[in-house]
Chain A
């Protein structure tokens, strides 16, 4: 997955939308390289169970660094259909590969309206530049 082809939330989740065999839209969700760079020193990730319903803007998991804990927010509405349980054992590699093996969950979408609130690559880059400038 190339970063240019993804959608982005304000809270630094990336989203790849594809259709499954039945034609339903499935969102693959992860955390961006910018977010992982800001967190550094990841020590723990807590991901939801398959089958859980999530709403756009609500936290579905947590990621912790040595210093602090951060929520991971669902960018879309739907049901968790897959969870990347291997992530917990290779957190130190996550920032090297956030967009392919670094996905967190797959969500079968029940509603597509939340997609319109997500940013494209260019808009997200701009947000990151602004946040970096705030320091």
Chain B
């Protein structure tokens, strides 16, 4: 995951994390907290109450101007042109062969002056690759085409980003935000003003999105006010049992929620259909890189498909464990851990479709020992709806 070279990048909260006992790791070239206390405690905290996490390492790319909508429609696999104000969609960026370059969220907002813009949130590990991809598809003639201008800005370092996740996240955030969060729907967002004095009347973007399988929000805000707002969230959260959470729990939470992670379930050799992401590909309409290839791939039977596995023993499988049917290797795992909620080893991986039905008994080679495993429905964990 060491995608970026050069000096390690730091979020505006770097010193705060260190001062609060975080174990820092290099994640995709960023110094990030993996945990403050225990991964299991932080995981359970988000499931039961809530947690806040610094996700400023995620790449934030801003597109505006009269040509922005069409440009993004010709870059992303998902329809963009019909998005309504405040709408967010999960999309892919594919290469010409239909392989996945990244999975992203695209949101459509208006700024305080009523000017429309799009924000594309990309994986930290893929940010430079996607920035280069954008530039390659946005030559100066196109960016400056009269009446169809596209202004592209990588605002990753200008903004910070927090995840506020868990059943009480709305209670923690609402006093700070000038729009009604309780009525905000999933995969919707808004340009907002932050109400706390620490935010100095500045704005931000809030969205009802996340990577935990729990109700929650993501907040993008200016880097200069990030620390002050984070301290307010941490202090108010403390009284509600909402704690800072590191990337360790973020990984176990997303795994339980059956969400793919780029570099694990997804890579440039993965096609969207085998990954279960066909829903994010609109092959009729705008032409984007990889569309013609995907039209052909969709006609072919799948060679393999992404599945969830529950292991019978106690020993967890990690990524890159071979999956067997009897003596025959049929697949490989892409992520694995012991589920803090289910208290059993869980994994995701790829197997041929004939072995992908829930209930299928497989074997996973965990460091030389074949452990029994059963295909189960994804996600492993469903939150209880109120």
> Does B bind A?
yes
Is A135 interfacial (CB 8 A cutoff)?
yes
Residues of B with C-beta under 8 A to A88: 314
User: A82 in the interface, Cβ–Cβ < 8 Å?
Assistant: no
What B residues does A62 contact at CB under 8 A? 367
Q: Which of A44, A64, A66, A69 contacts B340 (CB 8 A)?
A: A66
Q: Taking the complex as formed, is A126 at the interface, i.e. its CB lies under 8 A from any CB of chain B?
A: no
Assess whether A100 is interfacial by the CB under 8 Å rule. no
The answer to whether A66 and B315 touch across the interface, beta carbons within 8 angstroms, is no
Report yes or no: B39 in contact with A64, Cβ–Cβ below 8 A.
no
Collect the chain A residues with CB atoms within 8 Å of residue B38's CB: 40-41
CA of A41 to CA of B34, assembled, Å: 13
> A46 CA to B34 CA in the complex, in Å?
25
In the assembled complex, the Cα of A135 lies from the Cα of B248 at a distance in Å of: 18
Give the size of the chain B interface in residues (CB under 8 angstroms): 17
Give Cα distance in the complex from A44 to B316, angstroms: 8
A67 with B34: CB separation less than 8 A: yes
For residue B373, give the distance in angstroms from its CB to the closest CB of chain A.
15
Q: Tell whether A6 is near chain B: CB-to-CB under 8 Å.
A: no
Give the CA-CA distance A62 to B40 in the complex, in Å.
20
Whether A43 pairs with B338 at a CB distance below 8 angstroms is yes
A33 to nearest B CB, angstroms? 15
We find that the number of chain A residues with CB closer than 8 angstroms to chain B is: 13
- Residues of A contacting B24 in the complex (Cβ-Cβ under 8 angstroms): 135
The answer on a CB contact under 8 Å between B316 and A43 is yes
Interface residues in A73-130 by Cβ distance below 8 A to B read 88
Residues of B within 8 A of A41 (CB): 38-40, 248
**Contact digits for B1-40, partner A, Cβ 8 Å, 1 yes 0 no:** 0000000000000000000000110000000001100111
B318 proximal to A (CB < 8 A): yes
Contacts of B39 in A (CB 8 A): 40-41, 65-67
| Any A CB within 8 A of the CB of B252 | yes
Query: Do the beta carbons of B318 and A40 come within 8 Å of each other?
Result: no
What residues on B are CB-neighbors of A65 within 8 Å? 39
Q: How far is the CA of A64 from the CA of B367 in the complex (A)?
A: 13
Q: How far is the CA of A31 from the CA of B314 in the complex (A)?
A: 20
A88 and B314 CA atoms in complex are apart in Å by 9
Q: Is the CB of B252 within 8 A of A66?
A: yes
Q: Which chain A positions have C-beta within 8 A of B23?
A: 135
Closest partner residue, chain A, to B40 (CB atom): A41
Contacts from B to A (Cβ < 8 Å): 23-24, 34-35, 38-40, 248, 252, 314-316, 318, 337-338, 340, 367
Chain A residues at the B interface, C-beta cutoff of 8 Å: 40-41, 43-44, 46, 62, 64-67, 69, 88, 135
